[in-house]
Chain A
Amino acid sequence: MKNIKELLFRSYSTELTSEEGAELKSHINKSDQIKKEKDQLDMIVNTITNMVSNQFSREFEDQILNKINSKSWWTESLYNELFSVFKPVAFASSIAIIGLVYYQVYMGDILTINSLIGIPEYTIENILALIQ
């Protein structure tokens, strides 16, 4: 009986082979219980298949396009703003880093922040001299 039940459920998912179909049919004719189960399943599947869907509102398409327009406006404007500010900064930083690396590697000098920005170095001797 279990196999026949499996066969019955499978018949709603996929097409059975001709032998399987014949076997199921003969059981439906012989057994009232199988026939009752098949009738119930038919009713369930037919009800689901013919279930009328509710509908989206008439403004559905307009609302989607409005949302798309507003979202793209925000993302695009934000992107443009950020890009316009960061692009020159990123470019200048890249040039500065390349310059520093070049200076240190090829000129053999140790670059300090103080020498770079032109402030005299305050060594311990200089500080002591100032105090005295």
Chain B
Amino acid sequence: MNQNEIIKSAISGDKEAFRMLISILRPTIEKTVFGMLGQCPEAEDIGQETFIKLYHSLDKFRFESNLKTYVTRIAINLSLNELKKRKRRTNLFESNVNITEISNNIEFDNQTEFMDRIKWALKKLSNKHRPVIVLRFIDGYSLKETAEILEIPVGTVLSRTSRALQYLKDIINMENINEKY
């Protein structure tokens, strides 16, 4: 059975076909959700919600587009909602940690530390820039696919990617991060 047949079966109410779809799309959504939210308990909930939303909107799916980009769009939107909720909670209960304090205390002796730093820096990216980095470099989507998922022009994807990379580089070199971002 090819993917379109599985989708059609799932639309007609075949739960096992939908289970197959989840298995096919799960690795993509794992990358997207963990890339967007980092390691946290909410990530799995967002992943589940993504597939529940997909299940309820599957009959609206047009077969000329790719299901992978369709479901990734749902995951990105749900992750962005979660980040907004998180930001509201942070504003209410926590003070922002000074970025320079953390940065000056970190030296990259090994790859793990560098990886942790990159993960931390990714979390610091704005809601505009983070999805672009996640989709382009973690999920490996093309420029056109990224533009389609985020519903923005290709030129905007280009400029956001450059700016996000600049930020990630700055956070390592500590070049006036707080002023720029």
Interface status of B115 (Cβ within 8 A of chain A) = yes
> Which residues of chain B in 10-47 are interfacial with respect to chain A, using CB atoms and an 8 Å cutoff?
15, 18-19, 22-23, 26-27, 30-31, 34-35, 39, 43-44, 47
Q: Is the CB of A44 within 8 A of B34?
A: no
Per DSSP, chain A at the interface is helix
Q: Is the CB of A48 within 8 A of B143?
A: no
What is the chain A residue whose CB lies nearest that of B16?
A: A65
Q: Is the CB of A47 within 8 A of B114?
A: yes
Interface status of B84 (Cβ within 8 A of chain A) = no
Q: Is the CB of B161 within 8 A of A13?
A: yes
Interface status of A60 (Cβ within 8 A of chain B) = yes
Interface bin, chain A: 20 to 34
What is the chain B residue whose CB lies nearest that of A50?
A: B115
Interface status of B127 (Cβ within 8 A of chain A) = no
In the complex, per-residue mask of A47-79: 1 if CB is within 8 Å of any chain B CB, else 0: 111010111110011011101110100000000
The stretch from A4-12, A93-101, A106-114, A118-126 touching chain B is A4-12
CB distance from A101 to the nearest CB of B (A): 39
Interface status of B77 (Cβ within 8 A of chain A) = no
Besides A40-B172, A51-B138, 13 new A-B residue pairs in contact (Cβ under 8 A), listed by A number: A6-B162, A12-B161, A43-B114, A44-B118, A49-B140, A54-B43, A56-B47, A64-B51, A64-B52, A65-B18, A68-B15, A68-B52, A69-B15
Footprint of B on A, CB under 8 Å? 6, 9-10, 12-14, 37, 40-41, 43-45, 47-49, 51, 53-57, 60-61, 63-65, 67-69, 71
